[in-house]
Structures are given as structure tokens and as C-alpha cells.
Amino acid sequence: MRTQVAIIGSGPSGLLLGQLLAGIGIETIILERSSREHVLARVRAGVLEQGTVELLGEVGAAARLHAEGLPHAGFSLAFKDRLHRIDLDALTGGRHVTVYGQTEVTHDLMDKRAAAGLTTIYEAADVALHDFDGAAPFVTYGKDGITHRVDCDFIAGCDGYHGVSRKSVPDGALKTFERQYPFGWLGVLAEVPPADHELVYANHERGFALCSMRSTHRSRYYVQCPQDDRVEAWSDDRFWDELRRRLPERIAASVTTGPSFEKSIAPLRSFVAEPMRFGRLFLVGDAAHIVPPTGAKGLNLAASDVRYLFTGLRDFYAGKSQAGIDAYSGKALARVWKAVRFSWWMTTMLHRFPDTGEFGQRIQEAELDYLVQSRAASTALAENYVGLPW
């Protein structure tokens, strides 16, 4: 087989890049190691920046998002049993975020790709990347016991943190930066109305908590837990009791309990790989960087990577210049590191670390007090939360 761009991974970044390229007549093949059903079973966050929403609209995959997504013009910080609203709309000149699950984004993009008759190969085994440091890269994979080869001009590695793309980079060509956080998030999904109409981030002496939602009838809640904790140790009753302990009285009283249909513990980490380009291989999204979910930046960073790479490839194939693909890594990383900083700051401000102690707790409270009382500090928070310019 022959294509212009081979895309590894059928998550949101790979699918979005494929749709953008198809829109200007550039051929792609997507290779995905899992089944379509497995990809759609992944539970992920869903706070979208306006830039991400606009990009989905650009490829015609935003109809359901606009119909079912929940625009949020603010969110609340809870500490010392009080609730403080950050007015995103007022602080950023009318910008906001939209709550819409990442699984739904993936579903919409998959449907769009299928309707256009574009090729996605699911359950592609033993995917391997070859000769991307030269002028004629190719990808091999196994399917139904047969090894196949895809020749291409470029390879886009959109296959996540554990994917083959970053692992294919030669030793010494990649520098990584990592911070492992000493706790995780225990999250549940339940068919219950959310406790508040906007997200609530809570700093409490027992640990962090987050009240989020997927819709007006489906809620997503999290509590900070030890890194080595086990889901089996958490009954639904124990979770609901612990969540309410960490929330201000008004919000705790508004929590509607019910059986969870998904429960998991996610570790928190910050991770960046530099550079994000190796010859004709480009790393995109989680293949190159991971942020803790506190700042709601993971999917949005992947979308901005896609925008930068698409622009470079568009200009290259139009015969204008290869300046865009040459600049891809530096441009993407400049935005990545700002988002990594913001996510780290939100995480350190809202969580209890093993060495927090009474002094650390007072420092956190002082930081939060300043943040909600200073318009300048609140504006900086709001600008980062809605998304820095692409």
C-alpha cells in the first residue's frame, strides 16, 4: 500500500489530523493496534478549549458537540468550606470551555472518517516504523497472519504514551522530562445529575476532590487517593461519603448518589519528550507529552499539536515551503511547556502531598485566598484555563 501520511493511532489526535488532511486532498491511512470497540471504551476527560471546538467544527465533526456539549463560563474553587467562582467569561473577554467527553469526540471523528470512506485498519499487530530518518519511510504491521507494508511520505505518531512511535526513536535522540506525583485520582462515573452546574475543584485537608460531569444526567467525580490504593477497596458508599467530606456544605448536600458504572484509579504524571520531530516522523499528543488532568489540558494540547502539524504538511504539499514542518517541534513544545507549568501549578495548589503538613496547608490556603481576591491572579488562571493562543 501507498499513502502520503501514515497515522499511527486512532485516538482523537490521529482522527482529527486525518480529517484535516482529507479536507485538502492529502491521503492518509490510520493504523490502530486495538479494536474500534476498545478505543471507544476508554474513559477520558472532556473539558474542551474553544480552539479545540473550532477545529472540530472545521472538519465537520461538531454537530453533536454543539447539540449536547455544555458550555461553561466559569468554575469554582472550594477551600476552607467556602466556594469561590472563577468567572471565565468576564476575566477573558467572553471566552469559555465546553464540557463534552473525549470518548464522544472520538466517536464523532470515527463516524466522520467512516462516512468519507477513509481507511482505518483496526487490530493492526506488531506495527513497526522504518527509515523515517530518510526520504522514503514505511510502516509494517500484521493482520490475519499476514505482514503488510505501507509506504508513505511522513509518519504521524498519534499512538499515546505507551505507543510504538516514541519507542521507535533511536537511543540518544530523545530527551525526556518527568515528574511522578505521589498520589492518584479515584474516579467514578454515575448516572446522576451533577452537584453543581459547573466544575468544582476542592482543596481539603483530607485531599483533593473534583465535581465534574459528562451531561446534565451523568456525573464524573474524583477524589485524591494513595498511589498504591486499589479500586476494590472502594465501595460506592465509601466513595460518596469521602467525596462529601471534602466539599463545602452546600455542594456536599447537592451530591446525588447512585451506583457507579465505571470506577478506576489513574496515576498522575507530568512528562515531556523533546524534540517532537525525527526526520519524517512527528510525535503528536500523548506520544510526546502527558499532563496531570488537574488543568484539563491533555486533549487540548493534542489538538494544538495537530493544528501545527497540519499547517506544516499543508504548506509542504502545496509546494510553498517546508518551514512549517521544520518549525513543528519548537512551536508545539513552546505551548506544551506552558500547559505543563499550568497543570503542575494547579496540581500543587489543590492536592495534599505527603510532606504538606500544617505549614504547607496554610501556604496553599494563602495562595488560594490571594488567587480569588486578586483580579490579576484570577485573570492569569482564567487565561490558562480557557487556553493560551495557538
Domain boundaries, the chain: 5-74+95-177+269-346, 182-267+351-365
Residues 6+ apart with CB under 8 A from 176: 271, 272, 273, 274
pLDDT digits (tens, 9 = 90+) for 309-327: 999 999 999 988 999 999 9
Q: For the chain, list residues with pLDDT below 70.
A: 43
- Which of 245, 247, 243 is closest to 77 using CA atoms? 247
| Rounded distance between C-alpha atoms, residue 7 and residue 21, angstroms | 11
Query: Grid coordinates in use for 345?
Result: 501549578
Give yes or no for a contact between 9 and 129, defined as CB atoms under 8 angstroms apart.
no
Residue 67 sits at the vertex; the CA angle it makes with 63 and 68, to the nearest 5 degrees, is 115
Q: What's residue 132's pLDDT? A: 97
Determine the distance from the C-alpha atom of residue 200 to the mean position of all C-alpha atoms in its chain, rounded to a whole number: 19
CB-based burial of residue 117 (10 Å sphere; 0-12 exposed, 13-18 middle, 19+ buried)? exposed
Query: What angle separates helix 12-22 from helix 298-317, to the nearest 10 degrees?
Result: 30
Tell me the HSE value of 160 on the side-chain side, using a 13 A CA sphere.
14
Q: What's residue 171's pLDDT? A: 86
Fold of 182-267+351-365: D-Amino Acid Oxidase; Chain A, domain 2 (3.30.9)
C-alpha dihedral, 321 to 120 to 304 to 101, nearest 10°: 170
Query: Grid coordinates in use for 339?
Result: 500547559
Residues 6+ apart with CB under 8 A from 166: 157, 174, 273, 283, 287, 288
Q: What's residue 357's pLDDT? A: 87
- Supply the residues annotated as catalytic: 72, 201, 293, 297, 385
Q: What's residue 43's pLDDT? A: 66
At 162, is the secondary structure helix, strand, or coil? coil
Tell me the HSE value of 42 on the side-chain side, using a 13 A CA sphere.
18
Count of H-run helices and E-run strands, the chain? 13, 20
| Rounded distance between C-alpha atoms, residue 269 and residue 178, angstroms | 7
- Which of 273, 269, 263 is closest to 344 using CA atoms? 269
Strand order in the sheet with 125-130: 125-130, 138-143, 146-151
At 328, is the secondary structure helix, strand, or coil? helix
pTM of the model: 0.94
| Rounded distance between C-alpha atoms, residue 178 and residue 271, angstroms | 4
CATH of domain 5-74+95-177+269-346: 3.50.50.60
How far CA 54 is from CA of 51, 115, 136, in Å, comes to 5, 21, 34
| Rounded distance between C-alpha atoms, residue 273 and residue 176, angstroms | 4
Determine the distance from the C-alpha atom of residue 69 to the mean position of all C-alpha atoms in its chain, rounded to a whole number: 17
Q: What's residue 46's pLDDT? A: 85
pLDDT digits (tens, 9 = 90+) for 140-165: 999 999 999 999 999 999 999 999 99
Tell me the HSE value of 367 on the side-chain side, using a 13 A CA sphere.
15
User: What is the per-residue burial (b if ≥16 Cβ within 10 Å, else e) of 14-47?
Assistant: bbbbbbbbbeeebbbbbbbbbebeebeeebbbbb
